Amino acid sequence: MLLPEELETEIQTMVREAEHVEEKLIDIIYLLQNHFGCFSDVALGHASRLTGKTTVELEELCTFYDFIYRRPVGRFVIHVCDGVACWMHHENSLFQYLCDKLGVGVGEVTEDGLFTVLPTACLGNCHNAPAMLINGKHYGRLTPKKVDEIIDELRENADNIIQCLCR
C-alpha cells in the first residue's frame, strides 16, 4: 500500500534534514500511526524503507514506548496510569473499572470501535491522581462517576474528535 505523496515527502524531508535519523524516528512513527490508525506491519515497512532502519530496530522502539500501537486500537485510546500515586488514590482498580464498563480486556477494541484501554507508566499528573490520558488529553481526580461522564461525553462527540492524537 503506497503512502500519500504528501506524507511520503514529509517523511523524506525529515530524514534528509536530520543530523541523525534516530532523532526523528518517533515523530515518523507517529505520522505513520496517525495515517494508518496504528503502527501496523505495513506502516513498519514504510518506516524501515524511508529511514533505513531495520524492522527489528523499529520493533525495539515500539516495545519501549506505550504510545505506539502495533495492533488496531479504538478511536479513543485510554491510557490509565499504573503508577504508585494513582494506585494509592484509587483502592479499587480504575483500570478494571474501565475494562468492565466497556466490556474489553487490555488492548482490545470495543465492539463500536471507539475505545481501547491500556495501562501506562506515570503520566506526570500525580497531583491529580488517579489519572488517565485519552488521545493526548489529561483527566484527573477520577472517580467512577467522573469516568462515566467522560465516557458518555466521548461517545456523544465521537465524530468530532480526531483519532490517535499522539504527537
Q: Which of 77, 11, 75 is nearest to 43 (CA)?
A: 11
x/- map, 116-135, ligand FES, by CB under 6 A: ------xx-xx--x-x----
Nearer to ligand FES, 104 or 123 (CB): 123
3-state secondary structure of 157: coil
Are the beta carbons of 35 and 43 closer than 8 angstroms? yes
b/e burial code for range 148-165 (CB count within 10 A of at least 16 → b)? eebbeebeeeeeeeeebe
DSSP H helical segments within 80-137, as ranges? Answer: 84-88, 94-102
Window 22 to 61, contacts with ligand FES (CB under 6 A): none
Q: Tell me: does residue 142 bind ligand FES (CB under 6 A).
A: no
Q: Tell me: does residue 66 bind ligand FES (CB under 6 A).
A: no
Out of 7, 21, 61, 85, point to the residue binding ligand FES (CB under 6 A): 85
Among 16-24, 77-85, 100-108, 148-156, the segment contacting ligand FES (CB under 6 A): 77-85
Q: Tell me: does residue 81 bind ligand FES (CB under 6 A).
A: yes
Q: Tell me: does residue 86 bind ligand FES (CB under 6 A).
A: yes
Q: Tell me: does residue 14 bind ligand FES (CB under 6 A).
A: no
Give 126's DSSP letter.
Answer: G
55: left (phi over 0), alpha (psi -120 to 50) or beta: alpha
To the question of whether residue 122 is assigned a binding role by annotation, the answer is yes
Residues in contact with ligand FES by CB under 6 A are: 81, 83-86, 122-123, 125-126, 129, 131
